[in-house]
Chains A and B, each alone.
Chain A
Amino acid sequence: QVQLVQSGAEVKKPGSSVKVSCKTSGGPFSTYTITWVRQAPGHGLEWMGRIIPILGKPNYAQKFQGRVTITADKSTSTAYMELSSLTFEDTAVYFCARDRVVTVPAALGYWGQGTLVTVSS
């Protein structure tokens, strides 16, 4: 059974960075796309970017270009999302998700539990 387990909640100061992890189990890691999505309080879902670990080259939403870094560690089956230059507007729940099948494009069939990142002075 595929599972994605994310790191715990974070409280960060404006201007700092946050790095959220997403450890996968129960299936192959390297060949499936991992996607990061965020949800601000009371708002909808926002696609941030994705990576196919075996290729290693991430794609980012234009909104986050230059501020987000998505990486994958094949040795530990863990994906990471780092967001820098945090502002209060980055307060959100951050989700990782895995494609339902290995062929691309594919819908997001498996999700992590979400990580709340709070930006507060």
Chain B
Amino acid sequence: DIQMTQSPPTLSASVGDRVTITCRASQSINNWLAWYQQKPGKAPKLLIYKASSLESGVPSRFSGSGSGTEFTLTISSLQPDDFATYYCQQYNSPWTFGQGTQVEIK
């Protein structure tokens, strides 16, 4: 199975900061990479699909980049609503998730 290594596990940041989360696949996944945001007690929410496509309704401060095996999620200016846990997921089959990155208030 393809392994997804996400870093960092925890990130402390302030409102307005630029935040970057990295996800590395153990082999090429042809850009079949999604990013999700999850808040406590809630289902995950899709932010980015196909590595860099913004899901409808998601604020433009979220962006995704990368190809092959290295991918990043960037939040250009962190907002209070963005403190949450973020997961990458490869859907090149079989599907696997990264371990998650908790973005907490500094």
Chain A interface residues (CB < 8 Å from chain B): 35, 37, 44-47, 50, 59, 61-62, 95, 97, 100, 105-109, 111-114
Chain A contact surface mostly: strand
By beta carbon, the residue of chain B nearest A61 is: B94
Q: How far is the CA of A40 from the CA of B30 in the complex (A)?
A: 29
Is the pair B43, A113 in contact by a Cβ cutoff of 8 Å?
yes
By beta carbon, the residue of chain A nearest B96 is: A47
Q: How far is the CA of A44 from the CA of B5 in the complex (A)?
A: 12
Count of B interface residues, CB-CB < 8 Å: 24
Chain B interface residues (CB < 8 Å from chain A): 1, 32, 34, 36, 38, 43-46, 49-50, 55, 87, 89, 91-100
Name the contact of A47 in the complex, choosing from B38, B43, B94 (C-beta under 8 A): B94
Shortest distance from the beta carbon of B3 to any chain A beta carbon, whole Å? 13
Q: How far is the CA of A95 from the CA of B1 in the complex (A)?
A: 21
A46-B55 contact, Cβ under 8 Å, with A100-B49, A105-B32, A109-B46:
no
Q: How far is the CA of A47 from the CA of B100 in the complex (A)?
A: 14
Q: How far is the CA of A111 from the CA of B39 in the complex (A)?
A: 13
By beta carbon, the residue of chain B nearest A63 is: B1
By beta carbon, the residue of chain B nearest A59 is: B94
Is the pair A108, B97 in contact by a Cβ cutoff of 8 Å?
no
Q: How far is the CA of A97 from the CA of B36 in the complex (A)?
A: 13
- Chain B contacts of A45 at CB under 8 A? 36, 38, 44, 87, 89, 97, 100
